[in-house]
Amino acid sequence: MKRASARVSFDVIVIGASAGGVQALGQLLPRLPATFAPAMVIALHQPADASGVLAEMFDAKCALPVRLAEDKQPLVGGTVLFAPPGYHTLIEGDSAIALSLDPPEHFSRPSIDVLFESAAWGFRNRALGILLTGASADGAAGLLLIQQAGGAAWVQDPATAAADLMPRSALELGVSAQVLSLEEMSRRLAQMAARYSDLTLSGEIRNDKENN
Amino acid sequence: MAVFDIELRLLLEAIYLRYQHDFRSYTVSSLRRRLGRALVDLKVENLSRLQERVLREPAVLARLMQYLTVQVSDMFRDPSYFKALRETVIPVLKTYPSVKVWVAGCSAGEELWSLAILFEEEGLSDRTLFYATDINPEALRDAREGVFAVDRLAGFSKNYLASGGKGSLADYYHASYGGAHFARRLIERAVFADHSLATDNVFSEVHLVSCRNVLIYFNRDLQDRAIGLFAESLVRRGFLGLGSHESLRFSRHAGEFEPLVSSERIYQRR
């Protein structure tokens, strides 16, 4: 039986998190295998004047290259991009990052809704949205859009979240997401490894990682 | 193609044909959100209806321009950028008998006024000509006025000091009814002009182009066009400053520049 939610791999994975997000990502990102196939874009609520050291910090701990997103940077499989603090981060079509300084949403820039909405438009059923811990309702509406466009939705089990408002808001909004612990998410993500053909596609950026 | 995206493309085509404002190469992901908000605020049902009104009512275009172009910035936004200009670019500019600076996409003028203060403090005001350009006439008017809301001054002042400001920001404005009025002398030698990076050409040779967080709203092709204009306009060894997360890395013109202060996205023309 084939349903949209039965997909086991995706072209893009967008992740949203707020309070407690750094710790939650700390359980997910370092466990991604070097052969991980999808491109990943993360919107984490941070103060606008926060520096971009988070990407560097994760880069040192991860098998995959982790970078701060730059405007018009091409999306590449097996690469993790963080939204820069103070900027909305969108995906233009299904190929590149587009930044924006439009007003904050839910008092947040980057806003998770903004990122998720753009992924829904650009990737339809090839997108997976993941909403983690947070004391904000940002991301719920965006996750619903991803699902309505045929994509898949995961939320962190509110019972396990440092702050449960964010995952709870998505469920209360009616997103029929899979409710998972971080361990279960991590296990499933690890299975999204690249086939050989995908590996050559993302070979350039992998070399980039090795050179650092 | 989704109906909304079809309507969006048709609306931009209509605006171009009717008013020659070319938004056809702006990033679609940002336009969707901005126009979605315009529909709500203007109480118009969908983009097709909006298109009909824009075609027949120039006043609707004027309102729409606020959604399509205007963005809020701060004076001395990213103080480290202005600090790098002060420490690295200004000393070179001081060696020229006269200096021309192009603030491309100046919006309501925060970047222009910041540069004007910086140049005054560095003793370059008397020999510097600023070109401040934008496609939005209301924004150009605001930029020329140089009046900013009083509640924004604390943030501006903090940025100014972090950027290496030599005095107090209060030296440059007087607060009165309606806001903080910045000193006219700062922009005595500024020219304000309607200029489009999408459709117009180079108008002068300049030594510094400052264009921060304008290109993020352009797609790759339009970015290439704009950066091509900057390259053509700049003197040899002239300077280009972009926003903190903008880059020439993905541009066709990357080879015409070399990074000068990489962390601040300040480049120098080869």
DSSP chain A: ---GGG----SEEEEEE-TTHHHHHHHHGGGS-TTB-SEEEEEE---TT--THHHHHHHHH-SS-EEE--TTPBP-TT-EEEPPTTSEEEEETTTEEEEE-PPPBTTBSS-HHHHHHHHHHHHGGGEEEEE---SS-TTHHHHHHHHHTT-EEEEE-GGG-SS-HHHHHHHHTT--PEEE-HHHHHHHHHT-BPPHHHHHHTHHHHHHHHH-
Q: Tens digit of pLDDT for each residue in A144-178?
A: 999 999 999 999 999 999 999 999 999 999 999 99
**Quick one: CA torsion of A2, A6, A11, A14, rounded to 10 degrees?**
140
Domain with B94 in it: 79-269
Output the pLDDT for position A207. Answer: 44
d(C-alpha B85, C-alpha B71), whole Å: 23
Verify that B59 and B10 share a domain, yes or no.
yes
Output the pLDDT for position A197. Answer: 44
d(C-alpha B34, C-alpha B36), whole Å: 5
Residue B38 lies in a domain: yes
Residue B260 lies in a domain: yes
Q: Which of chain A's residues have a Cβ under 8 Å away from the Cβ of B72?
A: 101, 103
CATH of the domain at B112: 3.40.50.150
Q: Which of chain A's residues have a Cβ under 8 Å away from the Cβ of B34?
A: 102
Binned at pLDDT 50, 70 and 90, residue A195 comes out as low
Output the pLDDT for position A7. Answer: 56
Output the pLDDT for position A47. Answer: 80
- B204: nearest Cα among B100, B55, B93: B100
A108 is catalytic: no
Verify that B165 and B42 share a domain, yes or no.
no
Q: How far is A69 from chain B (nearest CA, A)?
A: 8
Output the pLDDT for position A6. Answer: 46
Verify that B24 and B123 share a domain, yes or no.
no
Output the pLDDT for position A205. Answer: 45
Q: Is B30 in CB contact (< 8 Å) with chain A?
A: yes
Output the pLDDT for position B43. Answer: 97
Binned at pLDDT 50, 70 and 90, residue A8 comes out as low
- Percent residues over pLDDT 70 in chain A: 87
Output the pLDDT for position B265. Answer: 98
pTM of the shown model: 0.93
Output the pLDDT for position A203. Answer: 43
Verify that B10 and B98 share a domain, yes or no.
no
Q: Tens digit of pLDDT for each residue in B190-212?
A: 999 999 999 999 999 999 999 99
Count of beta carbons in the 10 Å neighbourhood of residue A77: 20
Segment 114-153 of chain A within 8 Å of chain B by CB = 114, 117-118, 121-122
Please say whether the beta carbons of B75 and B148 come within 8 A: yes
Number of domains in chain B: 2
Q: Tens digit of pLDDT for each residue in A82-121?
A: 999 999 999 999 999 999 999 999 999 999 999 999 999 9
Please say whether the beta carbons of B213 and B73 come within 8 A: yes
Verify that B152 and B217 share a domain, yes or no.
yes
d(C-alpha B156, C-alpha B168), whole Å: 11
A74, A118, B38 from A93: Cα distances, Å: 11, 8, 22
Helix (H, G, I), strand (E, B) or coil at B188: coil
Tokens representing B114?
């910041």
Which residue positions in chain B have pLDDT lower than 50? Answer: none
d(C-alpha B269, C-alpha B261), whole Å: 13
Summarize the confidence of residues A124-148 as an average pLDDT: 97
Q: Which of A70, A103, A121 sits opposite B32 (nearest CB)?
A: A121
Verify that B48 and B103 share a domain, yes or no.
no
Output the pLDDT for position A48. Answer: 75
Please give the interface size between A and B, counted as residue pairs whose CB atoms are below 8 Å apart: 69
- A41: nearest Cα among A129, A157, A147: A129
Q: Note whether A90 contacts B34, CB cutoff 8 Å.
A: no
Verify that B129 and B107 share a domain, yes or no.
yes
Residue B183 lies in a domain: yes
- B203: nearest Cα among B243, B225, B234: B234
Tell me which fold the domain A12-201 belongs to. Rossmann fold (3.40.50)
Reply yes or no on whether the pLDDT at A196 is more than 60. Answer: no
Verify that B227 and B199 share a domain, yes or no.
yes
Q: Tens digit of pLDDT for each residue in A33-54?
A: 999 999 999 999 988 777 778 9
* B178 DSSP 8-state letter: T
Q: A166-202: buried (b, 16+ CB within 10 Å) or exposed (e) per residue?
A: bbbbbbeeebebbbbebeebbeebeebbbeeebbeeb
Residue B73 lies in a domain: no
A198 is catalytic: no
Reply yes or no on whether the pLDDT at A210 is more than 50. Answer: no
Q: Which of chain A's residues have a Cβ under 8 Å away from the Cβ of B213?
A: 99, 101
Reply yes or no on whether the pLDDT at A204 is more than 80. Answer: no
